[in-house]
């Protein structure tokens, strides 16, 4: 086997191959361009769905990079107003920055109008913020949920640059491909919406199934239940620790 050495020069990775006499074999030399990647995916899973008279949002608390667990208590659910919550997965630094900017603009709206913005206004605000950063986007994938003053339950799903749609159920993150078939099987094609007890069990089942198959989802699970009358419930459940 021939030896090789790696030399970085002028932002190119030079790989030098040596023959048996320890002389550089120029016929095998390679130059590989190096690219800077400002993003890292801290993984994790969030989900949301509508029930009969409520919306459930759920998210795990594991924060990972590669095969390392950085935190077992990193929240992915954020309260924006009394009746609006955001569930977000992706790069934790971008998620925190996005939530901070959202809260600043919501507070400015509240100060100017003396009342909180409705969930429909916040859904458009989130889309605008994400689209504004489209050339260097937030690495955050979001599910927004809330109830308006008329008692209408709203759930929105987003991509990284602000495209969004009104949904009956949604999931984002590393376990999305595991969670969505479970939600599809029970909530798709205008099937009857579950009552609160069945909906809570559905959220637990989906997240536990995900944590058993996805190493980036685990530790514990935050749950927010938004009722039609504006009442908010928060719960916590344990997931796999390994």
The two tokens of residue 159 are: 């991509």
Helices 196-213 and 176-187: crossing angle, nearest 10°?
Answer: 150
Q: Is the dihedral of CA 72, 140, 96, 168 positive or negative?
A: negative
Q: Is the dihedral of CA 98, 166, 120, 45 positive or negative?
A: negative
Annotated catalytic, 61? no
- Within 18-132, strands assigned E span 30-33, 45-50, 54-60, 63-65, 68-71, 77-79, 84-90
CA 94 – CA 40 distance, rounded (Å)? 10
The catalytic site residues sit at 45
């Amino acid at each position: 086997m021939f030896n090789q050495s790696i030399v970085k020069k002028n932002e190119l990775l030079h790989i030098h191959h040596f023959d048996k006499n320890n002389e550089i074999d120029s016929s095998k030399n390679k130059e590989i361009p190096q690219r800077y990647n400002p993003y890292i995916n801290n993984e994790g899973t969030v989900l949301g769905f509508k029930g009969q008279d409520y919306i459930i949002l759920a998210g795990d608390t594991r924060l990972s990079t590669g095969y390392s667990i950085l935190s077992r208590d990193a929240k992915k659910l954020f309260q924006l107003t009394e009746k609006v919550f955001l569930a977000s997965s992706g790069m934790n630094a971008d998620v925190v920055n996005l939530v901070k900017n959202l809260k600043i603009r919501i507070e400015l709206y509240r100060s100017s109008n003396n009342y909180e913005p409705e969930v429909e206004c916040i859904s458009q605000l989130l889309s605008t913020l994400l689209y504004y950063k489209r050339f260097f986007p937030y690495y955050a994938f979001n599910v927004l949920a809330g109830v308006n003053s008329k008692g209408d339950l709203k759930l929105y799903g987003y991509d990284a640059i602000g495209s969004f749609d009104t949904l009956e159920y949604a999931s984002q993150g590393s376990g999305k491909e595991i969670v969505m078939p479970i939600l599809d099987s029970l909530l798709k094609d205008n099937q009857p919406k579950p009552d609160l007890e069945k909906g809570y069990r559905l959220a637990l089942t989906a997240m536990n199934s995900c944590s058993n198959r996805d190493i980036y989802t685990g530790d514990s699970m935050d749950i927010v239940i938004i009722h039609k009358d504006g009442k908010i419930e928060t719960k916590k459940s344990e997931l796999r620790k390994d």
